[in-house]
């Protein structure tokens, strides 16, 4: 008589107690011994294996899962940084716009350079008149 999956033999591997995995034939014969026919036993074995596989995948345990989660997080962070850089580059002016900004700032600087001597001269005259009016008063 086959052993049920709960009472499977254990192997000693590097001091740890581990269950020996049953073969598919052992699982089918176990379910047949419980009264299921061959097809129902096969379906039950497939369901059990799918559930076990789903539990292993969804458990999130193991170095590989942690590595994949960390790698996924790093890729997401890099992707978001690249998206921000792409938005910044797209918001910068092109060559034509840069040239127009340069011409406009050059004309503004030239205009300020032309007007400044007149403004500074007027301020100096105001300063001199205020200074002379305060000195001449005894």
Question: Which residues, 6 or more positions from 30, have their beta carbon under 8 angstroms from its beta carbon?
Answer: 2, 3, 4, 5, 22, 41
pLDDT tens-digit series, residues 52-107: 877 776 765 656 666 777 888 888 888 888 888 888 877 777 888 889 999 999 99
pLDDT tens-digit series, residues 2-23: 444 554 444 444 555 677 878 8
- In a 10 Å sphere around its CB, with 0-12 CB exposed, 13-18 middle and 19+ buried, how is residue 29 labelled? middle
Evaluate if pTM is beyond 0.85: no
CB-facing half-sphere around the CA of 129: CA atoms within 13 A: 6
Q: Which range of residues forms the domain containing residue 118?
A: 93-136
Same domain, 8 and 52: yes
Q: Give the number of domains in the chain.
A: 2
Residue 8, in any domain of the structure: yes
Q: Where are the alpha helices (DSSP H) in the chain?
A: 24-33, 38-58, 63-91, 95-136
Same domain, 55 and 97: no
Same domain, 45 and 97: no
Residue 129, in any domain of the structure: yes
């Amino acid at each position: 008589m086959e052993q049920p999956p709960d009472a499977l033999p254990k192997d000693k591997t590097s001091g740890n107690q581990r269950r020996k995995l049953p073969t598919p034939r052992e699982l089918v014969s176990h379910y047949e011994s419980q009264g299921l026919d061959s097809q129902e036993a096969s379906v039950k074995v497939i369901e059990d294996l799918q559930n076990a596989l789903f539990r292993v995948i969804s458990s999130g345990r193991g170095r590989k899962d942690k590595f994949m989660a960390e790698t996924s997080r790093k890729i997401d962070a890099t992707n978001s940084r690249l998206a921000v850089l792409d938005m910044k580059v797209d918001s910068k002016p092109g060559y034509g716009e840069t040239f127009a900004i340069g011409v406009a700032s050059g004309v503004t600087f030239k205009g300020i350079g032309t007007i400044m001597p007149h403004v500074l001269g007027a301020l100096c005259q105001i300063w001199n008149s205020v200074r002379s009016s305060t000195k001449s008063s005894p």
